Amino acid sequence: MANLKTVSKKSKAQSMGMHTEVLTGRTQQKFFNPDEAENFYYFGTYDVDFNKRTELDVKDMTAPEANKEIDNLMSQGYGTIVIKNPQGKHSLGVGILNKLNLIFEGSLGYFGMGSCDGPIVRINGRVGWSCAENLMAGKVVIEKNAGSCFGAAIRGGDLICKGSVGARTGIDMKGGTIIIGGDAGAFTGFMMQRGRIIILGDVGINLGDSMYDGTIFVGGEIGSYGSDAVDAELTKSDQDWLKRKLKVAEIGENFDVSKMKKIVAGKKLWNYDNLEPTEKKGAI
Amino acid sequence: MPKKKSKKVSKTKEIKGQLGKKKETAREKMIGQSIGYRYDVNLLPDYSKLTPFLKKYIEAMGWDDLNWLEDVHMGYEEDRAAVFCRNANGWVTIPKSIKLPNNQQDRDMIARELLVKFQMSPKHPLVDLKKAYLKF
């Protein structure tokens, strides 16, 4: 049997409806000290100033060299860095765990801005596959189009493409918001687990296929629904949030959000658990 | 004869998702636990409830809204209010001294504020890991 503890007396948390069962021994537990000083940045990150601006020409640099130089500039306190001549190089701007204003004057190749946590990035061109993969926090804006797997497995932050995107956008995403001004390809939101996708244009076949949770908002036509993706009612709270988010994304400010379609998981595929007790017992 | 005091029968409120109180799936019956998250992961934040700390945090980061914190909610761990820290991969328990409001939106804002304080603290578990394993 699963490690399920029955609690006869209702605790405050239970009476508030915060939970319905107690599971033990499955996660770590950390205790928070509320007397922590007011601090907005990760320990050991650079103290940068948005008003301190510099330019970096990466024409004759490899991607690792360029990324190291970005880190070096941040260590000198530069908060706004303009990258010249990115020329479609792959893996540019990856692993930035700092507050930063980063501007690319050109296009990026594959895996641009991967595994970032915090920066505000503007890319004035296009991006290749898997842009901003595993984004944790921050804002990434692409002025033109993006390739496949846009925002793959992102966990937080805002990822915005003003143009159109390829297939499998938001595949396996676990949080955050992806906003697309144009159209999106097939299998958008494939296996998504949390987070939100907003598409102002049309979307291809198998939208939200095998999605576990999360929400997809579509303004245009839907090619077809994927397995377990179902329509849901667009609430007033959804509409207010959509208006706010489109303003943040600098696109579709006059878009009529009340006509958008909302797609969620039907939850018919919710048939797993991480203990698999019966199976384990059988194996022993 | 004194009037008999009629005992008040407290109505038990049915909680959505509680085992035995709703129609469970065959899988849930078999494993004896609910399958799903501990809170509504799709709950959108109510920006009118932003705390002064969170306003300052948004401004310091140069963002326009809660950004990654939109996905943070107050849950529970071991029967205590807690927030999940994705960096430590564990639940951060909220001290009992902190009074929790009877409203999920307000509780979520408190969870966000406390999580930021926890993650940015020099006592965060990742700080030691970084010292031990940072390569460049």
Same domain, B35 and B71: no
- Looking at CA atoms only, how far is residue A20 from chain B in angstroms? 5
Between helix B104-119 and helix B52-61 the angle, nearest 10°, is: 50
Say if residue B38 is in the same domain as residue B63: no
Between A40, A120, A238, which is nearest B44 by CB? A238
- How many angstroms separate the first and last alpha carbons of chain B? 87
Question: Is B112 part of any domain?
Answer: yes
Q: A80-89, A153-162, B112-121: which has the minimum mean pLDDT?
A: B112-121
The answer to the question of residue B2 being in a domain is: no
- Mean pLDDT across A11-18: 60
Q: What's the whole-model pTM score?
A: 0.85
Chain A segment 27-46 residues within 8 A of B by beta carbon are 27-34, 36, 38-44
Which of A132, A36, A82 shows the shortest CA–CA distance to B117?
A36
| Domains of chain A by residue range | 55-270
CATH-assigned architecture of domain A55-270: 3 Solenoid (2.160)
Cβ-nearest to A157 among B68, B92, B102: B68
B80 shares its domain with B38: no
Is B5 within a domain?
no
Find the mean pLDDT for residues A236-257. Answer: 92
User: Is A25 touching B (CB cutoff 8 A)?
Assistant: no
Share of chain A above pLDDT 90, in %: 76
Nearest CA in chain B to A265: B42
**What distance lies between CA A252 and its chain's CA centroid?**
20
Would residue B64 count as lying in a domain?
yes
A253 pLDDT tier (thresholds 50, 70, 90):
confident
Whether B57 and B90 share a structural domain:
yes
Output A174 or A37, whichever has higher pLDDT.
A174
Is the domain of B33 the same as that of B80? no
In chain B, the number of structural domains is 2
Average the pLDDT over A145-167 and give the result: 97
Give 10-residue mean pLDDT values along chain B (136 residues).
52 43 58 64 92 95 95 84 87 87 92 92 85 76
Within this chain, do residues B57 and B32 fall inside the same structural domain, yes or no? no
Closest chain A CA to residue B128: A43
Question: What is the predicted pLDDT for the residue at B76?
Answer: 80
**Hey, CA dihedral for A139, B61, A115, B41, is it positive or negative?**
negative
From chain A residues 197-226, the ones with a CB under 8 A of any chain B CB are 213-215
> What is the ipTM metric for this complex?
0.86
Q: pLDDT-based confidence at A256, cuts 50/70/90?
A: very high
Same domain for B116 and B81: yes
Predicted local confidence at residue A22, as pLDDT: 44
Mean pLDDT on A200-218: 96
What's the average model confidence in pLDDT over A205-229? 96
Tell whether B25 and B71 lie within a shared domain.
no
The rounded distance, in Å, linking the Cα atoms of B4 and B104 is 41
Residues B109, B88 share a domain: yes
pLDDT given for residue B81 in this prediction: 87
Q: Is A14 a residue whose pLDDT tops 70?
A: no
Judge whether B132 lies within some domain: no
Considering the domain architecture, whether residues B63 and B99 belong to the same structural domain is answered as yes
Q: How confident is the model at residue A18 (pLDDT cuts 50, 70, 90)?
A: low
Q: What is the structure's pLDDT at A252?
A: 82
pLDDT of the residue at B58: 96
Using CA atoms, how far residue A134 sits from A114, A230, B15, in Å, is 6, 26, 35
Which residues form the domain of B98? 45-124
Residue at B116 is within a domain: yes
**Residues B64, B103 within the same domain:** yes
A81 phi/psi in degrees, rounded to 5: -125, 125
Q: Are residues B36 and B53 in the same domain?
A: no
pLDDT tens digits, one per residue of A38-78:
889 998 899 999 999 999 999 999 999 999 999 999 999 99
Structure-model confidence comparison of residues A18 and B47, the more confident one: B47
Q: How many CA atoms lie within 13 A of B22 on its CB side?
A: 14
A176 touches chain B (CB under 8 A): yes
Does B61 contact A99 at a Cβ distance shorter than 8 Å?
yes
pLDDT at B7: 52
Which range among A57-66, A128-137, A248-257, B74-83 shows the weakest confidence by mean pLDDT?
B74-83
